[in-house]
């Protein structure tokens, strides 16, 4: 037995036996799919994970087979080779992200790679991977990274479950005419009430409030080309993606038509960063929106107004108007951009 295997099988005297049993039980609950066109690689990775205590493991010889497995039963972690014939690891990641978005689930994705240099890895993270492992994988590193990825998936799915519970609460509020019937998010009336509350809190505690206005670019062309039913599908999908991009505590609202608003509250004004809105714009543009008429790519323009809790507190109407003016500034400057 080589030193690595000995180390993997050697009991850790510094940890009590009950702790080890807890870890093993946790590992047993983690669902893993290994995707690699090379049988030898699949066997090696599966064996290493089994030694680390993981038992719920499925193997797929191609990305297409892995997607079928995910349709049959979700997985917490997908380990995939970057370079495979047909659909490669990056394309598989994009498919998984699309399915996660549609099903309200999160799957952690780790790619095995022999790629060198920063640029390929930056591209991979931008396209949705959670982590990567150099080939051939070290058994200890493999187990550690899978454990970390499983925690990420668990936290994300807990947040999604919380979001689903919030959605149920919002549905109950529909009787009070505070939600948009098509998208299920807050309407203008609820937005103004929440914005006033956040402004008062920020003024009293020196926090910050950011109000964001978003408008789907050239939305009229979508309605004119595909019909209003497809336009409604785009609005619903746009809302879903927006809610998954912003923080769970941010309030997403449909202000009317194709205009949306987001209230972002900060307990400390210095925590506000325009980069958070850049991520929103990147997410909107990341992939086309699926509709009954096919995939439709869209862009959005964003206007932002931020109150840092100092000076005279703006009125709700002034804040909405200021963000709306910035929105039209972004549109007049060529659309698909942020004005703040």
Residues forming the active site: 258
Q: What's the start-to-end Cα distance of the chain, in Å?
A: 62
State the pairing for strand pair 208-216/300-307: antiparallel
Distances in Å between the Cα of 37 and the Cα atoms of 79, 114, 179, 315, 316 are: 12, 15, 48, 60, 57
Tokens 């996660």, located at residue: 100
DSSP for 312-332?
Answer: SPPPHHHHHHHHHHHHHHHHH
Backbone dihedral region for residue 111 (phi beyond 0: left; psi -120 to 50: alpha; all else: beta): beta
141 prior amide bond cis, ω within 30: no
Task: State phi, psi for 186 to the nearest 5 degrees.
Answer: -60, 150
Tokens 């109950």 identify what position?
172
Burial class (CB within 10 angstroms; exposed 0-12, middle 13-18, buried 19+) of 232: middle
Task: Please answer whether residues 110 and 78 qualify as being in contact, where contact means their C-beta atoms are separated by less than 8 angstroms.
Answer: yes
Q: Can you state the angle between helices 39-51 and 139-173, rounded to 10 degrees?
A: 80
**Which residues have CB under 8 Å from 118's CB, separation 6+?**
none
Measure the CA–CA gap between 218 and 320, rounded to whole angstroms: 22
Determine the Cα–Cα distance for residues 172 and 37; give it in Å rounded to an integer: 49
Dihedral sign, Cα of residue 80, residue 85, residue 90, residue 95: negative
- Residue whose entry in the numeric block shows the structure tokens 């149920």: 168
């Amino acid at each position: 037995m080589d030193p690595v295997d000995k180390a993997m099988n050697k009991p850790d005297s510094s940890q009590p036996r009950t702790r080890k049993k807890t870890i093993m039980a946790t590992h047993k609950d983690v669902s893993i799919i290994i995707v690699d066109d090379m049988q030898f690689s699949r066997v090696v990775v599966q064996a290493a994970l089994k030694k680390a205590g993981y038992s719920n493991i499925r193997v797929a010889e191609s990305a297409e087979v892995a997607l079928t497995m995910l349709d049959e039963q979700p997985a917490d972690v997908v380990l995939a080779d970057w370079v495979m014939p047909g659909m490669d690891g990056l394309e598989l990641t994009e498919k998984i992200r699309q399915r996660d978005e549609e099903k309200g689930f999160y799957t952690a994705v780790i790619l095995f790679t022999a790629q060198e240099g920063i640029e390929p890895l930056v591209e991979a993270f931008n396209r949705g991977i959670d982590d990567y492992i150099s080939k051939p994988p070290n058994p200890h590193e493999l187990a550690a990274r899978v454990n970390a990825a499983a925690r990420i998936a668990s936290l994300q799915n807990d947040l999604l479950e919380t979001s689903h519970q919030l959605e149920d609460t919002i549905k109950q509020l529909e009787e009070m005419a505070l939600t948009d019937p098509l998208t299920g998010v807050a309407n203008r009336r609820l937005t103004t009430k929440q914005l006033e509350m956040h402004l008062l809190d920020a003024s009293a505690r020196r926090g910050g409030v950011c109000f964001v206005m978003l408008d789907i670019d050239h939305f009229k062309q979508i309605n004119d080309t595909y019909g209003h039913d497809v336009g409604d599908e785009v609005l619903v999908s746009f809302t879903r993606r927006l809610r998954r991009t912003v923080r769970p505590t941010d309030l997403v609202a449909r202000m009317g038509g194709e205009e949306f608003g987001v209230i972002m509250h900060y307990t400390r004004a210095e925590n506000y960063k325009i980069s958070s809105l850049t991520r929103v714009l990147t997410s909107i543009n990341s992939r086309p929106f699926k509709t009954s008429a096919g995939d439709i790519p869209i862009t959005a323009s964003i206007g932002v107004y931020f109150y840092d809790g100092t000076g005279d507190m703006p009125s709700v109407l002034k804040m909405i108007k200021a963000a709306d003016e910035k929105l039209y500034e972004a549109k007049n400057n060529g659309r698909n951009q942020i004005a703040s």
